[in-house]
């Protein structure tokens, strides 16, 4: 499991996994803004187990960037973590994934296709990740499958007011937020779906069918 700032949480989760099955989890720290981080992460996990069956690209930067105030530094940071890192992690992991006939699952966002006002850079980075998913699905076929998951309202940000949450749920046909387990279940499905590649699976309570 990769982490950067969430040290205690990651180590605690590793302990849970390893108590259930010994040597099943390891915590690897890396700053995805570092150009060398991707290759270092893959080298570290190869040293740990010697193989890789699935790469889950879940790390992301999410914050508002109103057009009037957005800066090149914000663009660089958001794109570096949300799009550049998944590309170079996939590049570094590709040899191991080919050996195991493995897969890649990228975490997108409903905002990639239903843009949010004042989040243009974030939305563009996630839209780019959809394109990357489909391009790599072609380039890495037939040995490696590449898919994506597009979550809706799962975990609220600290800035999300009750009114904002209510407005989002009003545009969600199921009328409620999802759970992290919904995303975990979708990841498990895609990891074990041998005839599925190049797809974006929406796990959003139906928001994609609402105007």
Tell me the catalytic residues: 122
CA distance 177 to 156: 9
- State the sign of the Cα–Cα–Cα–Cα dihedral 33, 56, 86, 102: positive
Q: Would you tell me how many other CB atoms lie within 10 Å of the CB of residue 160?
A: 13
Element spanning 201, H or E = strand 200-203
Location of structure tokens 């890396």:
30
DSSP string covering 9-64: HHHHHHHHHHHHSTT----EE--TTSTTHHHHHHHHHHHHHS--SEEEE-------
Whether residue 81 contacts residue 163, with contact meaning beta carbons closer than 8 Å, is answered with no
58 close to 39: Cβ distance less than 8 angstroms: no
- 100: helix, strand or coil: helix
Whether cis (ω within 30° of 0) applies to the bond prior to 142 is yes
């Amino acid at each position: 499991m990769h982490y950067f700032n969430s040290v205690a949480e990651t180590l605690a989760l590793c302990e849970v996994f390893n108590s259930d099955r010994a040597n099943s989890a390891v915590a690897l720290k890396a700053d995805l803004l570092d150009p060398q981080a991707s290759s270092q992460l893959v080298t570290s996990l190869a040293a740990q187990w010697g193989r890789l069956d699935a790469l889950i690209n879940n790390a992301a930067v999410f914050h508002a960037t109103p057009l009037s105030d957005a800066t090149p530094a914000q663009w660089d940071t958001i794109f570096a973590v949300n799009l550049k890192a998944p590309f170079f992690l996939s590049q570094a992991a590709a040899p191991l994934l080919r050996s195991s006939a493995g897969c890649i699952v990228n975490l997108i966002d409903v905002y990639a296709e239903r843009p949010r006002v004042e989040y243009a850079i974030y939305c563009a980075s996630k839209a780019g990740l959809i394109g990357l998913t489909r391009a790599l699905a072609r380039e890495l076929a037939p040995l490696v499958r590449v898919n994506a998951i597009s979550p809706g309202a799962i975990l609220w940000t600290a800035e999300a007011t009750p009114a904002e949450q209510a407005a989002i749920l009003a545009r969600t046909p199921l009328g409620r937020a999802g759970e992290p387990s919904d995303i975990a279940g979708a990841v498990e499905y895609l990891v074990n779906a041998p005839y599925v590649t190049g797809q974006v699976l929406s796990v959003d309570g139906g928001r994609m069918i609402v105007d």
